[in-house]
């Protein structure tokens, strides 16, 4: 996964897609306008028919009064479409009456060759009706075979992976969001795609649930040229709750709000402030960064220090304190866009001094680029970086606070294949222990997970073979229960492990022979999910719930709760149900009961993170942009 062939980068700007629903409505509107033109009268009215016209006008006015609808600003848009259809139907009836009257006049004056005619569209309609005058019942039957631009609604299952055509080629599909599935939802389209981002904590409090929300994050770009890349610090404010229609008869598709502790009602959701519909506001400042940003992380003890892994093989450290001070002074008002925004670099929204400032520390000791990077939560200033050649370097901050000592501490031995050939192992991900200052874990290609201790350099303490015949792309260490570790494989497998079972079940040692031997038994995972068909690109435990985690693959973001147990009686009953086909039974069986929520709609998901201070808020990055949401069932 760490190789360049598996880390595809987009070099073109990603444009937002237009709404299919709007396109469909405009097409239907055009058809109504073409099929129902207002027809001018072609016959003249004599003075003898004056009173008849007045009576006809009164009758039409009375009919309009009967069909009168009061405008309600809270009525759904579909009511307006129904009114438009009703108006078109009335116009059709009026046009039919006029056409019949014109036909009668034409029969009375059939000797007159110079009879006046209407528009060309009416002439075509009259000729068609004349050819079928012996079958008047066929005049009101529309020809459904001539309908054009008919929208076909298809269902798509995210666990099926990428949509493919009959030839097996990948097909991009546009999905429509169901607003009832989210409490909050906002998208952002950057100028260049971003592979990585990190949240920044603020002083607005912990466990926030009152709307509107505000968040800060730092992102890194993947531009077409190395010199065009940037590190951008952004602030999104006025993230309001999505307005939902309160219909008691219509049940939420996700059911009741999920709460593991009964009796804990969300009182903030009933506050008036939560229902205020605001336009999100975006502020952002950018710093120059040479090379695409493979990974970006923030020091937990000092949120102003940001580390970046460049695709040119250099690790940079930035100080963003001045930018964050500007956010504090702005009172949430900046030059951004609301709703689904687009982010571009501009001098009016950036500080020239900051744009000219580069990193305060850079390290070029790695032999190649990498993706593995993590700060220690226990020891301030401790950083670990891993590259695609299998090397791990450990950073230690000096006393002055502005310089670091970096030592090449670990070199992963090559992987021995069955044909007595060796393959270079890359370090895909690395993460420090949440409870021990000297211990960290590294995810490797070819299925290994290594546990290191900085007090024992140049060898791994444990190196079990967790994902056979595939790469371990990502890992996440549970910060609440420190013996739990989650890993995601390149084959789409998500596993949860107990580190206490690593003692004698897997391969251990740092020597080449013991490290590459895969004959001994691997530890048994606490949970294994094999329903995903695309590589796992990110995994992260919930910051306050020890049993909940979020993961992403290429087609979606998924939220799991490991405390949910399978209902065995209902599962057995479904297997005995002979009315269900084998395909449906297999589809239902592939969905684990621990899967609470699925978010999709973006192109090539890369990372997902829980916000550390906003309850159940998740942010994702993909080639098509960012998404910030709160599920309605969390």
Which of 230, 193, 162 has its CA nearest to residue 534? 162
- Residue-averaged pLDDT of the chain: 75
Segment 133-142 shows an average pLDDT of 40
Q: Is the pLDDT of residue 319 over 80?
A: yes
Residues contacting residue 309 through CB under 8 Å, at least 6 positions apart: 293, 294, 295, 296, 315, 369, 370, 371, 372, 373, 385
Has residue 261 got a pLDDT over 50? yes
What residues have CB less than 8 Å from 231, skipping those under 6 apart? 218, 219, 220, 221, 286, 287, 288, 289, 293, 296, 306, 308, 318
Give the pLDDT of residue 94: 56
Q: What share of the chain is helix, strand, coil (3-state, %, to 5)?
A: 25, 30, 50
pLDDT value for 259: 59
Q: Do residues 423 and 414 lie in contact, with contact meaning Cβ atoms separated by under 8 Å?
A: yes
For residue 330, name the pLDDT band (cuts at 50, 70, 90): confident
**Which run of H or of E encompasses 318?**
strand 315-319
pLDDT at 336 over 50: no
Bridge-based pairing of strands 404-411 and 391-397 is: antiparallel
pLDDT at residue 72 is higher than 50 = no
| pLDDT above 60: residue 99 | no
pLDDT confidence band for 257 (50 / 70 / 90): low
Strongest mean pLDDT among 16-25, 160-169, 433-442: 433-442
Report the predicted TM-score, pTM, of the whole model to 2 decimal places.
0.69
In this structure, of 81-95, 180-194, 388-402, the range with the lowest mean pLDDT score is: 81-95
Q: What is the mean pLDDT of residues 569-576?
A: 51
The alpha carbon dihedral of 569, 571, 572, 574 has a sign of positive
For 74-80, what is the mean pLDDT? 49
CB 432 within 8 A of CB 477: yes
pLDDT at position 416: 72
- What does the pLDDT read at residue 25? 36
Task: Tell me the pLDDT tens digit for each residue of 155-196.
Answer: 666 676 666 666 767 677 778 888 999 999 999 999 999 999
Contacts of 289 (CB under 8 A, 6+ apart): 220, 221, 229, 230, 231, 308, 310, 316, 359
Q: What number is the average pLDDT over the span 489-501?
A: 95
- Computed on alpha carbons and rounded to an integer, the radius of gyration of the chain in Å comes to 32
Given a cut of 50, is residue 6 above it in pLDDT? no
pLDDT, one tens digit per residue, over 514-565 is 344 433 457 999 999 999 989 999 999 999 999 999 999 999 999 999 999 8
Is residue 134's pLDDT more than 50? Answer: no
Return the domain boundaries, the chain: 179-246+257-365+605-634
- Write the DSSP symbol of residue 5: T
Residue 448 has pLDDT above 90, yes or no: yes
| Helices 582-590 and 568-576, axial angle in degrees (round to 10) | 160
DSSP conformation letters of 143-165 = -GGG--S--------GGG-S-B-
Sign of CA dihedral 110, 112, 118, 120: positive
What was the pLDDT predicted at 503? 75
Work out the pLDDT band at 132, boundaries 50, 70, 90: very low
Long-range contacts of 509-512 (CB under 8 A, 24+ apart): 509/459, 509/460, 509/463, 510/458, 510/459, 510/460, 510/463, 511/413, 511/459, 512/413, 512/414, 512/416
pLDDT band, residue 278 (cuts 50/70/90)? confident
Percent of the chain with pLDDT over 90: 49
Strand (E) or helix (H) holding 71: none
Q: Over 70: is that where the pLDDT of 262 sits?
A: no
Quick check: 52 pLDDT over 60? no
């Amino acid at each position: 996964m760490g190789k360049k062939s598996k880390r595809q980068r987009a070099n073109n700007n990603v444009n937002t897609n237009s709404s299919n629903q709007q396109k469909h409505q405009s097409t239907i509107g055009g058809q109504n306008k073409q099929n129902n033109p207002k027809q001018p009268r072609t016959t003249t009215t004599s003075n003898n028919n004056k009173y008849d016209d007045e009576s006809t006008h009164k009758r039409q006015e009375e009919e309009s009064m009967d069909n009168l609808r009061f405008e309600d600003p809270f009525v759904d848009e579909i009511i307006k479409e129904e009114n438009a259809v009703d108006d078109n139907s009335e116009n059709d009836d009026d046009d039919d009456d006029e056409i019949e009257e014109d036909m009668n006049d034409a029969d009375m004056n059939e000797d007159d060759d110079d009879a006046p005619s209407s528009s060309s569209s009416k002439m075509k309609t009259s000729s068609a009706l004349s050819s079928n005058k012996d079958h008047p019942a066929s005049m009101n039957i529309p020809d459904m075979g001539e309908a054009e631009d008919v929208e076909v609604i298809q269902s798509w299952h995210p666990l099926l992976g990428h949509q493919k055509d009959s030839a097996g080629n990948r097909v991009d599909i546009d999905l429509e969001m169901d607003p009832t599935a989210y409490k909050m939802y906002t998208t952002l389209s950057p100028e260049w795609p971003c592979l990585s981002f990190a949240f920044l904590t603020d002083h607005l409090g912990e466990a926030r649930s009152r709307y509107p929300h505000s968040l800060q994050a730092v992102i890194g770009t993947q531009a077409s040229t190395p010199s065009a890349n940037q590190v951008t610090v952004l602030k999104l404010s006025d993230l309001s709750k999505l307005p939902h229609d309160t219909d008691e008869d219509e049940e939420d598709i996700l059911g009741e709000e999920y709460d593991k502790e009964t009796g804990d009602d969300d009182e903030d959701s009933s506050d008036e402030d939560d229902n205020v519909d605001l336009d999100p506001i975006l502020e952002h400042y950018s710093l120059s960064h040479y090379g695409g940003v493979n990974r970006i992380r923030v020091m937990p003890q000092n949120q102003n220090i940001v580390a970046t892994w460049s695709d040119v093989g250099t690790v940079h450290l930035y100080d963003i304190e001045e930018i964050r001070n500007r956010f504090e002074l702005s009172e949430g008002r900046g030059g951004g866009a609301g709703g689904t925004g687009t982010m571009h670099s501009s001098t009016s929204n950036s500080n020239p001094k900051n744009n000219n400032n580069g990193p305060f520390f850079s390290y070029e000791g790695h032999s190649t680029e990498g993706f593995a990077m993590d700060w220690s939560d226990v020891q301030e200033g401790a950083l670990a970086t891993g590259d695609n050649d299998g090397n791990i370097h450990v950073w230690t901050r000096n006393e002055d606070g502005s310089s670091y000592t970096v030592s090449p501490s670990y070199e992963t031995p090559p992987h021995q294949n069955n044909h007595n050939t060796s393959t270079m192992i890359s370090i895909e991900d690395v993460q420090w222990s949440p409870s021990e200052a000297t211990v960290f874990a590294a995810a490797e290609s070819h299925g290994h997970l290594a546990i290191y201790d900085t007090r024992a350099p140049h060898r791994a303490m444990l190196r079990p073979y967790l994902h056979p015949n595939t790469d371990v792309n990502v890992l996440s260490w549970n910060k609440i229960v420190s013996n739990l570790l989650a890993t995601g494989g390149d084959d789409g497998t998500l596993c949860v492990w107990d580190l206490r079972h690593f003692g004698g079940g897997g391969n251990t040692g740092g020597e080449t022979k013991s490290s590459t031997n895969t004959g001994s038994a691997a530890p048994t995972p606490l949970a294994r999910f094999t329903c995903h068909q695309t590589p796992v690109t990110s995994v992260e435990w919930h910051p306050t719930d020890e049993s909940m985690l979020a993961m992403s693959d290429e087609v979606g973001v998924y939220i799991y709760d490991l405390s949910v147990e399978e209902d065995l009686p209902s599962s057995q009953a479904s297997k005995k149900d002979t009315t269900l086909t084998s395909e449906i039974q297999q589809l239902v069986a592939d969905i684990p009961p621990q899967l609470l929520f699925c978010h999709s709609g973006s192109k090539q998901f890369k990372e997902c993170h829980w916000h550390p201070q906003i309850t159940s808020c998740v942010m994702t990055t993909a080639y098509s942009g960012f998404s910030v949401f709160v599920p309605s069932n969390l």
